[in-house]
Chains A and B, each alone.
Chain A
C-alpha cells in the first residue's frame, strides 16, 4: 500500500470521525446535562436529512435545505422535549429507553406516511462537487474536505458556547448539580428544552450533511445512533471533548482497519479468504477498541470515573 493511499485513507477516517462527532455531540450533551438516554436521536438525524432533501428539491438550493434541516430538527427536538421527554426525567433509564424507542417507531412511520417509502434524492451542492487535487497528487472529493472544515468549525463553536457563554455556564452547572442551579433561580425546564433542541439541531445538521453523500431514507438514523453511542462511551459520557476524541478515534480505527486489515491478512492467507477475514475483523475493531478503553478507563477517556 502506497503512502498516498494511506494519507487518503487517513483523510477519510478524519472526515468520518467529524461526522460521527456532530451526531455524538448532541447525544452526549443531552445525556450529560439531563441524564437522559435518547434513542430517538437517530430519528432527529433522519428528520434533518428529509427536511434538507424536501426543501432542496422544492427550492433547488442545498443551502436553504441545510437551514431547513437545522430548523426542523431543532423544532422537532423542542416539541418532543415538551411533550414526551419532560415526563421522563424522574423515571429510571429503562423507562426512558422504552419511551424514546417508541418515538423511533412513531417518527419513522410518520416520515414514511409523509414522504413515502422510496428513498429521496439529495445531491451535494454544485459548488462543492467533484474532486480537487491536493498537494502530493491526491484527488480528493471537495465536499468531504468541506465537511472536515465545517465539522471542525462546529466543534470550535460548541467549545466556545460551553466554555465562554452564560448559556454554557448554566449547561455546565446543570450537569454538576441541577437542584442547586434551580435554587439559584435558573429556569431549569427552559434550559433543558434548549439543550435538547440544540442536540437535535446538531443531529439534524449531521443528517443533512451526510444525507447528501448517502441515501435519504427511513431508518437511516439507527446504524449511526449505535456508532454514536460507541463514541460517547469511549469518550466519556457527558464530555464534548470526549465526544470529539472518541469520534475521531472511531472514525480512524474503522476506516484504517477496513483498508489495512485485508492487506495485512493477504500476506499470510489466500486473497479471497484474506478479504473475508479482514472485513469480519475490521467490523469488530471499534467494539474491541471500546472494550479496551473500558478496561483501562471505565468512565471513558474524558469521563468522570
Chain B
C-alpha cells in the first residue's frame, strides 16, 4: 500500500509565491501500517501529517510507505525512496531493528534521517552520524525515568522483567542505572509471550514491594490484565511504551494507577501541547499517543529547518535542524552533540477520565537528561 500525500498543487503554489528561495523538500516516511504493530505507525503518521497539513507549506511533499514491521521490506522501501522517489529526508521507523537496517545505509548515501521513535544505543554512541537526528529520545531514557522515580514512589525492593531480546536487556540496564533501591529478582520472558501466570507466581513469592516491567504492545496488555486479576496488588511501573494511549483502552481498569516513565503526556502544560492535543482529537477523533507526539514534533522540526536553509546545502540544513528552533510539544527541547535530545523526563499515572483511559503527569523524574552514550560519539 503506497499513497502519496501531495499537499497542494506545487506548481500553482510556486507561481503564487513567486519566491526564488523556495527549495522543495521531499520526505520519505517508512512506518508500520499493517500487522500487529500498526497502531504505533498509524499514530506516527497521523501526528506527522497533522503538523504538515497545519503548515500547508507547498514546498514539502511526503511519500508514505508501509514496512510491515519487517527489516527486509524497510530496506527495500528505503532504496526505492532514495533512488526512484529521490527523497531528501527519511523518517518514521518505529522499531529499533528496522532502524538499524535502514539508517546507516541512508546516512551513508548523504540523506538525512529524523527518528520519530527508535533510537538504539548503537546510533547514539560510536555509530552517531551528522545526518541522523533522534527527535524522540535515546532508547534508554524512558526506562531511566522509571528507575529514577521508582524509589521516590516507595518501591524499595523491585522485581524487574523484560522480554529476552536486545531492547529488553537495554531496558533493565536503563532502569537499574538510576534506581536507588534493591533489585530482588531480574526475569527475562520470551518475546511475544502472552501468558504470565508463571511470572506472576514468582512475583508473589519474591518478597518485592514493586514491579518494573517493559512489555510493549500485546505482551503488556496480557500481563497487566492477568496481574490485576491475580490480586498480587504491588505497585507497577514501566516505560510509557507499555502504557500508551493506543493500548490503554484494551487494558481498561486493570491499568489504572500504573506509573510510567515518559518524556511527553497529553496533559503536559505547554501551549504547543494544548494545540496539538486539541487539533489531533479534532482531526482523528481520539487522544494522541507518544508516537503521535514524536511524529508531530519531527514534522515541526523539519519545517523549522526548511525555513532557515535549503535542503540542497546539507551542512547548512543539518545545522538548522540542530538548532531545534521549533515549539516542541514537550516544552524544553534541544539537541546534544550526538543529535539526541536533551529534555525533561516525567512519570505519569494511568487515570480514567469519563470513559477514556489516559495518562497524567505525577512527577518529574529527571531534568535536562541527555543519554549515557554521548561520550562515545565522535563527530
A residues adjacent to B (C-beta < 8 A): 1-2, 4-5, 8-9, 12-13, 15-16, 108-109, 112, 117-121, 123-124, 129-131, 139, 141, 143-144, 210, 212-220, 223-224, 255, 258-259, 262, 271-272, 275-276, 278-280, 282-283
Contacts and interface: CB of A to CB of B under 8 A. Distances in A.
A259 B247 contact: no
Contacts of B169: 276
Contacts of A131: 229-231
B275 to A, nearest CB: 24
A119 B221 contact: yes
Interface in B26-79: 34-36, 38-39, 42
Contact of A259 (B186, B202, B222, B252): B202
Contacts of B222: 213-215
Nearest to B252: A121
B143 to A, nearest CB: 16
A224 B217 CA distance: 17
Contact of A220 (B39, B185, B218): B218
B38 to A, nearest CB: 4
A129 B226 CA distance: 10
A214 B198 contact: no
A273 to B, nearest CB: 10
Contacts of A112: 34, 38
Contacts of A9: 198, 201
Contacts of B217: 215, 217
Interface in B221-249: 221-222, 225-226, 229-231, 246-247, 249
Contacts of A262: 187
A121 B205 CA distance: 29
B250 A120 contact: yes
23 contacts: A5-B205, A9-B201, A117-B38, A119-B218, A124-B229, A131-B230, A131-B231, A139-B204, A141-B229, A141-B231, A213-B222, A214-B194, A215-B194, A215-B219, A215-B225, A218-B35, A219-B36, A262-B187, A276-B169, A276-B188, A279-B187, A279-B189, A282-B190
Contact of B36 (A144, A217, A276, A278): A217
A56 to B, nearest CB: 12
Among B34, B247, B254, chain A packs the most CB atoms within 10 A around the CB of: B34
Interface of B: 34-36, 38-39, 42, 164, 169, 185-190, 192, 194-195, 197-199, 201-202, 204-205, 217-219, 221-222, 225-226, 229-231, 246-247, 249-254
A96 to B, nearest CB: 23
A302 B39 CA distance: 43
A130 B197 CA distance: 13
Contacts of A218: 35-36, 38
A121 B249 contact: yes
A42 to B, nearest CB: 12
A279 B164 CA distance: 7
Contact of A276 (B164, B194, B247): B164
A210 B195 CA distance: 9
Contacts of B205: 1-2, 4-5
Given A5-B202, A214-B222, A139 B194 contact: no
A123 B249 CA distance: 11
Contacts of A272: 186
A283 B201 contact: no
Contacts of B253: 123
A2 B254 CA distance: 29
Given A5-B202, A118-B250, A143-B229, A15 B39 contact: no
List the 8 shortest-distance A-B pairs measured between CB atoms, nearest first.
A215-B221, A219-B36, A119-B250, A12-B197, A279-B188, A215-B218, A131-B231, A214-B222
B250 A130 contact: no
Interface of A is mostly: helix
A255 B197 contact: yes
B3 to A, nearest CB: 16
A232 B65 CA distance: 39
Contacts of A212: 225
Contact of B231 (A109, A130, A255): A130
B35 A271 contact: no
Contacts of A109: 34
B230 A123 contact: no
Contacts of A13: 198
Nearest to A5: B205
Given A214-B221, A255-B198, A283-B164, A121 B188 contact: no
B356 to A, nearest CB: 12
Contacts of A271: 185-186
Contact of B194 (A8, A223, A278): A223
Q: Which of A119, A131, A143, A212 has the most CB of B within 10 A?
A: A119
Given A119-B218, A214-B225, 17 more contacts: A9-B201, A117-B39, A118-B249, A119-B247, A131-B230, A212-B225, A213-B195, A213-B226, A214-B194, A218-B35, A218-B38, A219-B36, A220-B36, A223-B194, A224-B194, A279-B164, A282-B190
Nearest to A19: B195
A213 B39 contact: no
Contacts of B230: 131, 139, 141
Nearest to A144: B197
Contacts of B202: 5, 259
Nearest to A213: B226
A279 B193 CA distance: 12
Contacts of A283: 164, 190
B39 A119 contact: yes
A111 to B, nearest CB: 11
Contact of B201 (A12, A121, A220): A12
A215 B225 CA distance: 9
Contacts of B254: 123
Nearest to A282: B190
Nearest to A118: B39
Given A214-B218, A220-B218, A12 B198 contact: yes
B195 A16 contact: yes
